[in-house]
Amino acid sequence: MALGLAPGTWVRSAVPPPDYDSCVAITRLTDLPPRLGPFVTLNAWELDSNHHLFGSYSALRATAPGEFLTASDRGNVLRFTIEGDRLGIGPMARFNGEDRFAEKRASDIEALAIDPKSGTVWAAYEGLNAIERRDARLRSPTRVRPPSMQDWRSNSGPEAMLRFDDGRFIVIGEGTTRWTDDRMPAVLFARDPAEGDPGMSFAFSAPEDFRPTDIAALPDGRVLFLLRRIVFGLPPRFEIGLLVADPAQIAEGETWSGELLTVFSRPFPTDNYEGLAVEPTDGGYPVTITMISDDNDIAYQRTLVAQLYWDGRAGR
């Protein structure tokens, strides 16, 4: 058997060189449902490209009104803009600024946080249970592996991260605390974790087998969670939810949760949404919610960007 397979192992066509020239095709999606629970549907787009640095986006933040930074689990970043129903593509690059690719576990960015005043960026690496801080131009890296995150399971490390305006951070893992548990490990840092803050450990629980993929702050102090669950089939598909929670209810060693507001359903374009950004209106409600999906470099998944509008004051 080994001799029979050997020619296929050693004889193959040449690997094509990386494509750094292809543009990104943008298709605006139509026939969207007008509402998803309390959320008004604004727009959705599908992005596609053969560019070597495109795709697999797993984190998203707004850097200025209508301007966004998204990072991939391959360590790449893309900047784009949205103005009304028009999405514009900016530069693509490596997050570390280098041409070479690091191994997957050392470049698997799953979450971003940004200080809007200084532009400082923090990235959470799932494979390393690490947080890295860089300046607004993605230079001067400082990377730490907080002790409170060091025992999070392999390939189930930090998946969602949020920086509050007062300097606190929340980081939530993708894996559960134990195989027999449905809670995710989480840490609340009182200040920048890159400065050595030890953090306070707690757990997060999402309803109906959902798991968090991103988190963003709301104007009233609450936070919005982007949730995902897998529906197994051929091919498997994803169901997406949005949940609101109050961080004032976080307590050391306890379980934090919130209220599930909606679950996305077709004809809304559902996929593996992993990035979430919230933009307030004049510092308050209503808010514009932007989401991006991770295509995992798989043919049946897509890179989608969708926007919703929400007046979160209702029912408070």
What CATH number has the domain bearing residue 218? 2.115.10
Query: What average pLDDT does the structure give for the chain?
Result: 91
pTM tops 0.85: yes
In a domain, 222, yes or no: yes
For residues 246 and 259, what is the distance between their CA atoms, to the nearest angstrom? Answer: 9
For residues 183 and 300, what is the distance between their CA atoms, to the nearest angstrom? Answer: 30
In a domain, 15, yes or no: no
For residues 124 and 276, what is the distance between their CA atoms, to the nearest angstrom? Answer: 15
- Determine phi and psi for 147, rounding to 5 degrees: -55, -30
Q: Write out pLDDT tens, residues 157-190.
A: 999 999 999 999 999 999 887 777 889 999 999 9
In a domain, 102, yes or no: yes
Tokens of 105: 């576990």
The domain in which residue 188 lies consists of 21-310
Helix (H) or strand (E) segment spanning residue 81: strand 76-83
pLDDT of 2 reads: 52
In a domain, 10, yes or no: no
In a domain, 14, yes or no: no
**3-class secondary structure for 250-293?**
CCCCCEECCEEEEECCCCCCCCCEEEEEEEEECCEEEEEEEEEE
Contacts of 17 (CB under 8 A, 6+ apart): none
Per-residue pLDDT of the chain (316 residues; tens, 9 = 90+): 554 545 544 455 566 788 999 999 999 999 999 999 999 999 999 999 999 999 999 999 999 999 999 999 999 999 999 999 999 999 999 998 775 555 666 789 999 999 999 999 999 999 899 999 999 999 999 999 999 999 998 777 999 999 999 999 999 999 887 777 889 999 999 999 999 999 999 999 999 899 999 999 999 999 999 999 988 888 888 999 999 999 999 999 999 999 999 999 888 999 999 999 999 999 899 999 999 999 988 988 999 999 999 999 875 6
Q: Total domain count for the chain?
A: 1
> DSSP 3-state assignment of 107?
helix
In a domain, 63, yes or no: yes
Q: Write out pLDDT tens, residues 45-82.
A: 999 999 999 999 999 999 999 999 999 999 999 999 99
In a domain, 204, yes or no: yes
In a domain, 197, yes or no: yes
